[in-house]
Structure formats: C-alpha cells, structure tokens
C-alpha cells in the first residue's frame, strides 16, 4: 500500500525538498502541498491523506491550530499529523500532543528517517522518545489547559492486561520493548494496544498516553508497577 502524504510548510523550497525525500521512497507519495494552516485543513478535507507533515509556524493559521481543527473533525480521523519543525521546545511538543498530533520531529531529519517517521505515524504509533514521553506528558498533559480530565472509571472497559499495556505505553516503551519485558510477541502487544485505543476512542498512541496520565493510570504504574493500577 502506498502512503499518501500532504506537506504543510510556508517555505516552498523546504516543501520541495521534503517532496523529493518522500517521493524517493517506493511506498510513499506526496499528494499535495499547503503554504499555511488554513490551506492544510482544506487540502486534508479534499485529499484525505494518510499523513499530514505539518510545520508549526506558518502565516494566517499556524500548524498547531490546523492540527487541532483536523483532529477534531471525525471525518478526518484517518489522517495522522506529523509535526516537523525547527522549534523543538518542550512547550511546542506539548501543544502538538494536546492538539492531537501523533509525532514531533525536527527539520534536520534525514531522508530515511523522515520516510520511517511517516510510516510510523501512519501506523498509529508516536515518535516521542521514552524520555520525552515521560517528562512532557507528566509536565504538560496531566493537567491540560482546556479539556476536562478523563475519569478513572472510564478505564472500566479495559481488561487488566489492556490497562497494563496502556500504562507501559505511557512510560514511552515501544511495542517491541513491552513485548520483551512482558515475554509476549510484538503482535500480541500491538493487538492489546489497538483494542485499548478503540475502547477509549483514542485516535493514536499519543492520545492514549494523554488518557493514561489524565486517568492516573500512568502515575500508578510509575509509582508502584502493575499492582498499583486503578
């Protein structure tokens, strides 16, 4: 399957460079380019790309606002957002996650890494490192600015194993790392994580992390391990 990508950046030269990098991959094609956030939202609705590679600082409507608008539209649920920017600050990363982005990487990324980032986001995974996940989510997402917190009782739909998987995801572990820790296959871990995402209506792995912190699931896991899960 060929992944369809929309590029959103106000600099035409950078968009051209990113298009060349991504089009060089056999399984990725760039289907459109946007020069600002407003155009990014319009083209996402028109083209329904698998991944939108979104800059943060753009004129008129910025990338974070555009990301929020795309992620809030149920009809665009299948389009994932990859934030690609030179402004790699903690606050920008946190805002990107709050907005619904699935990953956050710098513009200095190489061709192979960019293509792999697109594949990762398209699969519903997040690109934040374990350290970034723990520090950023704990600092900014546990008490979000404008969203009502999830309640622990909302976890009732999860099985004990699914709660355990969500808690481990929230610490920043990849499916492979969870599999090694739990003596399971990566396929089994992915199945548990996907079921948890469906039950909690999480659009991607990053949002699953947010839910884990808002419900206290992640804090319990970090404080005392699986026996402390709510």
C-beta of residue 13 within 8 angstroms of C-beta of residue 38: no
Q: How far apart are CA 137 and CA 206, in angstroms?
A: 10
C-beta of residue 53 within 8 angstroms of C-beta of residue 84: yes
pLDDT score recorded for residue 228: 45
Most confident of 59-73, 79-93, 142-156: 59-73
DSSP string of 102-136, one letter each residue: SEEEETT--HHHHHHHHHHHHTT-----HHHHHHH
pLDDT score recorded for residue 141: 53
User: Using one digit for the tens of pLDDT, what is the confidence trace for 133-176?
Assistant: 555 555 555 555 545 556 667 788 899 999 999 988 887 777 88
**Tokens coding 34:** 């946007």
Alpha-helical segments (H) within 26-62: 37-47
Average pLDDT over residues 33-58: 96
This prediction's pTM: 0.67
Domains by residue range for the chain, with CATH: 3-125 (3.40.50.2300), 139-228 (3.40.50.2300)
DSSP string of 142-204, one letter each residue: SS-SSSPPPPGGGGGGS-HHHHHHHHHHHTT--HHHHHHHHT--HHHHHHHHHHHHHHHT-SS
User: Using one digit for the tens of pLDDT, what is the confidence trace for 2-45?
Assistant: 999 999 999 999 999 999 999 999 999 999 999 999 999 999 99
116 burial (CB, 10 Å; 0-12 / 13-18 / 19+) is middle
């Amino acid at each position: 399957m060929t992944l369809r990508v929309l590029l959103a950046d106000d600099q035409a030269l950078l968009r051209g460079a990113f298009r060349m990098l991504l089009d060089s991959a056999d399984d990725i094609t760039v289907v459109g380019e946007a020069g600002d956030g407003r155009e990014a939202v319009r083209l996402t609705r028109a083209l329904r790309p698998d991944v939108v590679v979104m800059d943060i600082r753009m004129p008129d409507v910025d990338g974070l606002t555009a990301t929020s608008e795309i992620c809030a539209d149920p009809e665009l649920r299948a389009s994932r957002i990859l934030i690609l920017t030179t402004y790699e600050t903690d606050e920008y990363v946190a805002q990107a996650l709050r907005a619904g982005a699935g990953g956050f990487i710098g513009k200095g990324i190489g061709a192979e890494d960019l293509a792999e980032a697109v594949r990762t986001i398209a699969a519903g995974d997040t690109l934040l490192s374990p350290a970034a996940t723990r520090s950023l989510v704990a600092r900014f997402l546990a008490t979000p600015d404008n969203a009502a917190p999830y309640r622990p009782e909302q976890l009732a739909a999860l099985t004990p194993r699914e709660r355990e998987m969500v808690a481990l995801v929230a610490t920043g572990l990849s499916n492979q790392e969870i599999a090694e820790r739990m003596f399971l296959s990566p396929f089994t871990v992915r199945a548990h994580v996907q079921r948890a995402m469906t039950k909690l209506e999480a659009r991607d792995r990053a949002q699953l992390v947010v839910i884990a912190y808002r419900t206290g699931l992640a804090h319990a896991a970090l404080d005392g391990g699986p026996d402390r899960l709510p």
